[in-house]
Structure 1
């Protein structure tokens, strides 16, 4: 009976959410959260702190009154001493504060989403099979950032950027009811995929948008969305030219407005996740999540 009730509840949730004007709502939130109206911004900040029990002791600036907008508060910088990095050069660290939604093997093109649902690797990366080939039969992890989490995204290991892809889509929520009910959720939502060369081989970091999270930024390109478009857009970065971008482990690579999801992809037998790195595990940026063998 409980399973039937949950299924009915999830189905009703999906029908309501699917009917919403996702991008319009997200753009309204985008404007509100960037307003520097003192009364509005301070009210929203204090409301979020009370509602989500946000820990400001780890922030570089813990003084609520100093933030000019809700977004500047929500994308606040960490105190560098609050997140020491684990391990050595072959250790992978968590790129975010969040919770492990799923992790495991990529079964050729299929990436597990939730019971009864998976999503397609090539679709996730923008529809080009050659882009997905290095990750077939590799490993993935899906990490969810709630509204209470720190919202900057960092490098799990040293990497040289090769390509960035903006992929248009819907903005479904990425919470548990959505993962249980929306087929191919993460390959349907608007997202920015970034591809890096690392000492562990190719690595992809996919920044997935969600309802009220229509703003994704990278440190090298600024705000990618909004405004979104109806077309896939690709940026190439030369490995040896002036556009070459290399980021060290732990360096910031991007950020979300509000909460959303980061998907990590690695090649076949390239890395091993730590034994404790399982679904439901809370993470702090900088903690070890696994490692790889150093190659020449």
Structure 2
């Protein structure tokens, strides 16, 4: 069943769907068409800066709607949720193996790629996996104040990252298309990976070094090491998806770290991920 599923032409269909989602919808149709999508998926339009469906020219514009100012207060905690979504998995990474489903894991190098991962002797590596459903706000933000010095773009499948498939295929996140930003935060190594999925035609990431938003297409492996690092402040917008997908954080921290989340929790971007600063 898994072999049959991965052989389906998602990589061909998804970019097409992503492109079609940007086509303009006649104003007279928007309330019916976009309103129907919002009702079906459970979108919270009362949180959007513009609540009228007529203001959104396309499906993509609706999915990437801006939120009202101050509706997502950023916690004073040093590590916060990067997105609205649901916690799929979190915890310590032991001996370089990332656990996705109980007793099934994969190597961190298979996921991140050739980034240099060195931790301080007393520190540990941790992971947090957050799934963004179609109804969620689709921009993603910086979970901490940190410096980025390299970007790794991995080609791969465009399989659904719905929790059902995540449990069915334990290595799903390591075989899907993804873009990993790697660098350092106050405790050492820090990585932030946006994972593509079915009907996600592209991921848009804005970087200060490029002074513009960069659209990343999923064709070949690309490892870019920046001559000068650039910095993100906690809560700052990093990029956006064109439909539901997944954010994976892998970071170094002291063993005293205690999470303020559990698997299945619904998150809002900006809320605390840990009990207290370490």
Q: State TM-score, norm by structure 2.
A: 0.89
Q: Is residue 287 of structure 1 aligned with residue 274 of structure 2?
A: no
Paired position in structure 1 for 2:162: 175
Please tell me whether the aligned partners of residues 261 and 273 of structure 2 are also in contact (alpha carbons under 8 angstroms): yes
Aligned partner (choices 216, 221, 225) of residue 203 of structure 2: 216
Tell me the secondary structure at the aligned position of residue 207 of structure 1: strand
Please tell me whether the aligned partners of residues 202 and 241 of structure 2 are also in contact (alpha carbons under 8 angstroms): yes
Shift of residue 101, structure 1, vs aligned partner: 0.3
Tell me the secondary structure at the aligned position of residue 164 of structure 1: strand
Please tell me whether the aligned partners of residues 99 and 280 of structure 1 are also in contact (alpha carbons under 8 angstroms): yes
Aligned partner (choices 66, 71, 95) of residue 77 of structure 1: 66
Q: Residues 44 and 171 of structure 1: is their aligned pair in 2 closer, same or farther, counting only changes over 3 Å? A: farther
Tell me the secondary structure at the aligned position of residue 160 of structure 1: strand
Q: Residues 74 and 121 of structure 1: is their aligned pair in 2 closer, same or farther, counting only changes over 3 Å? A: same
Equivalent-residue separation in structure 1 for 2:54 and 2:231 (angstroms)? 36
Please tell me whether the aligned partners of residues 197 and 245 of structure 2 are also in contact (alpha carbons under 8 angstroms): yes
Q: Cα deviations across residues 210-234 of structure 1 (Å, max 9, x unaligned)?
A: 11113111112634433x21x3102
Q: Cα deviations across residues 89-147 of structure 1 (Å, max 9, x unaligned)?
A: xx211000001000001012211111342222001112x2x523449951001011111
Paired position in structure 1 for 2:22: 34
Shift of residue 261, structure 1, vs aligned partner: 0.6
Q: Residues 116 and 162 of structure 1: is their aligned pair in 2 closer, same or farther, counting only changes over 3 Å? A: same
Q: Residues 264 and 271 of structure 1: is their aligned pair in 2 closer, same or farther, counting only changes over 3 Å? A: farther
Q: State TM-score, norm by structure 1.
A: 0.84
Equivalent-residue separation in structure 1 for 2:258 and 2:66 (angstroms)? 27
Please tell me whether the aligned partners of residues 64 and 241 of structure 2 are also in contact (alpha carbons under 8 angstroms): yes
Report the structure, 1 or 2, having the larger helix content: 1
Tell me the secondary structure at the aligned position of residue 227 of structure 2: coil
Tell me the secondary structure at the aligned position of residue 92 of structure 1: coil
Q: Residues 41 and 160 of structure 1: is their aligned pair in 2 closer, same or farther, counting only changes over 3 Å? A: farther
Q: Residues 237 and 149 of structure 1: is their aligned pair in 2 closer, same or farther, counting only changes over 3 Å? A: same
Count of residue correspondences = 270
Alignment of 1:157-236 (within 5 A): 157-220=144-207, 222-226=213-217, 228-229=218-219, 231-236=220-225
Q: Cα deviations across residues 38-61 of structure 1 (Å, max 9, x unaligned)?
A: 267665422221111211111122
Q: Is residue 150 of structure 1 aligned with residue 150 of structure 2?
A: no
Please tell me whether the aligned partners of residues 201 and 270 of structure 1 are also in contact (alpha carbons under 8 angstroms): no
My pick for the range that moved more, 177-186 or 164-173, is 177-186
Q: Which runs of 5+ in 1 are unaligned?
A: 1-10
Aligned partner (choices 37, 49, 53) of residue 64 of structure 1: 53
